[in-house]
Amino acid sequence: MLSEGRSWIAAVLILSGAAIVIGATTVLLFPHLIPGFLDLLDKFFREILGDVEDQTNFELARGLVRQNLKASLLDLFLGVMVGIVPAVSIGLNFFTLGFLGGAFFLPADVSGASGSFSLFLLAILPHGIFELPALILSASFGLRLGIGWLLPSASGHRRGVFKHNLAGAVVIVPVVAVLVVIAGFVEAYVTGSLVR
């Protein structure tokens, strides 16, 4: 199944890279947006996860797994709407990574960043090596589900292509779920202790 999704994975990686560049460029050109963007992220995550300072690592991991699994499944199966949901999800997630990472290349008095780009990577990589592939796989197979049957190559057998791509989306769910569970627990138990 993964080999059949290679071109879709490549497309999502290109979209991801473009979103990172756009995010980093945005923060470098418009650093005054940083406080508002950080406030927006804080409100968003507090709404989803609650007050993480009052949670045990297990409660945080459970909340992260629940949220990321829900988002991955939405990317995967709402891709049926011509791939809009996974494309927007990838764009927003990787724009955010680019924006936050790019802020560390500004002077601290401009960005308000307390730390370094290395600290940013330390906050992202431990769980990101699991979470980002889950996001990329979900979006890739979601795009394939929503767009694959519309391609000229599917002409004459669109229903069969759609069913095949739907089966592929279902098969990828356990892989995504395992990656999301690992990412949630690594983020709660490892990432937090590394960046404190």
pLDDT score for 20 = 98
Q: Is the pLDDT of residue 72 over 90?
A: yes
- This prediction has a pTM of 0.91
Angle between helices 57-77 and 117-147 (to 10 degrees): 30
Burial class, 42, CB count within 10 angstroms (exposed 0-12 / middle 13-18 / buried 19+): exposed
Separation between Cα atoms, residue 142 and residue 63, nearest integer Å: 23
Residues whose CB is less than 8 angstroms from the CB of residue 74 and which lie 6 or more positions away in sequence, other chains included: 85, 89
User: How sure is the predictor about 194, in pLDDT bands with cuts at 50, 70 and 90?
Assistant: confident
Angle between helices 84-103 and 57-77 (to 10 degrees): 130
Long-range contacts of the stretch 145-153 (C-beta < 8 A, 24+): 145/76, 145/77, 145/79, 145/80, 145/83, 145/169, 146/79, 146/80, 146/81, 146/82, 146/83, 146/84, 146/86, 147/79, 147/82, 147/83, 148/8, 150/82
pLDDT score for 80 = 87
CA-closest candidate to residue 133, choices 25, 42, 5, 45: 5
pLDDT tens digit string along 75-131?
Answer: 999 988 888 999 999 999 999 999 999 998 888 777 666 668 888 899 999 999 999
pLDDT tens digit string along 123-182?
Answer: 999 999 999 999 999 999 999 999 999 999 999 999 999 999 999 999 999 999 999 999
pLDDT tens digit string along 5-47?
Answer: 899 999 999 999 999 999 999 999 999 999 999 999 999 999 9
